Amino acid sequence: NTPVGFKYENGEFSDIDPIAAMLNPAALHEVLHMTFAATVATGFMVAGIHAYFLLRNSKSEFHRAAFGIAAAMACVSIPLQVLTGDLAARRVAKYQPMKLAAMEAHYETRSHAPFVIGGIPDDETKTTKHGLEIPNALSLLIGHSADTVVPGLDQIPREEWPNVKLVHWSFDVMVGCGMVMLGLALWAGVAYWKKRGGAVTVRLLKAFLICAPLGFIALEAGWFVTEFGRQPWIIYGIMKTSEAVTPMPNLVVPFTTFTIVYIFLSVVLVFLLRRQFMETAPEKRGGA
């Protein structure tokens, strides 16, 4: 179970190769998934902002062009994000099967495993109450066959389970937001094809406005899945989080300081972007 790039001898890690450590089995799907997540989140947010201004002034060429660029980036990226999500799920099943089990509230090792949407995981009864099950879907996702055996949480001691509720619900939020954005991308693609790139409808603009924050919600929910799902391990199968907690006292001081600094920088950033955004709009310069 020694991580890639490390040598474990006499109870200690030695001969650490940082390049090999970074290129561990999780690197490919994590980098791809996060890169597209950032592109999707940014694209839908920017498209939503310009959709808002287009709803106020449909004749603005500035907002129309900006909306088109951002929406195109978002709509192209979201299907690729879904594909990388499929890759990530299968690699998580291979390297961190217990994280996948928590994501799906999958308590019992079995074939023909269903995909569970929503519901309330109950660790005591090892069931998910009120969840919507899609028969065989989890086995098909992982092994492309309904006969694929998917390991459940019953394969590890109870004290090593992550918080199943938090992981499962975070995963549902991430996937749900992704599916809504994928649906919007398909709608936008059909509308663009029918109108041959002509004017977008008010309904479509409102949909982009409503969906503007979904990319960032999905992104944060995905990180909840990653971090909650690997507990209680900080190095999977090697070191627990409780063993890696720093003994340094008074950490609340730098934590609070950095929090205040970043809040201040965020306010300054919003102020500067808003001013530059408004000043570059053609209508503010007497243009179109």
DSSP letter string over 95-162? H-HHHHHHHTT--S-BSSPPEEES-EEETTTTEEETPEEETTHHHHHHHSSTT--B--GGGS-GGG--
Interval 21-43: pLDDT, tens: 666 777 787 888 899 999 999 99
* Residue 126 scores a pLDDT above 70: yes
How high is the pLDDT of residue 15? 56
Tokens standing for 60? 């603005």
**Secondary structure (DSSP) of 211-241:** HTTHHHHHHHHHHHHHHHHTTTEEETTTEEH
Report how far apart, in Å, the C-alpha atoms of 47 and of each of 79, 98, 144 are: 17, 37, 36
Mean pLDDT of 72-87: 91
CA quadruple 247, 250, 252, 254: dihedral positive or negative?
negative
- Beta-carbon contacts of 213 under 8 Å, excluding residues fewer than 6 positions away, are 45, 48
| Residues of the chain above pLDDT 70, percent | 86
Give 154-169 pLDDT, tens digit per residue.
888 888 889 999 999 9
The 3-state DSSP class for residue 281 equals coil
pLDDT over threshold 90, residue 201: no
Compute the average pLDDT of residues 175-183.
94
User: What pLDDT does residue 180 have?
Assistant: 95
Query: Is pLDDT at 117 greater than 70 in this prediction?
Result: yes
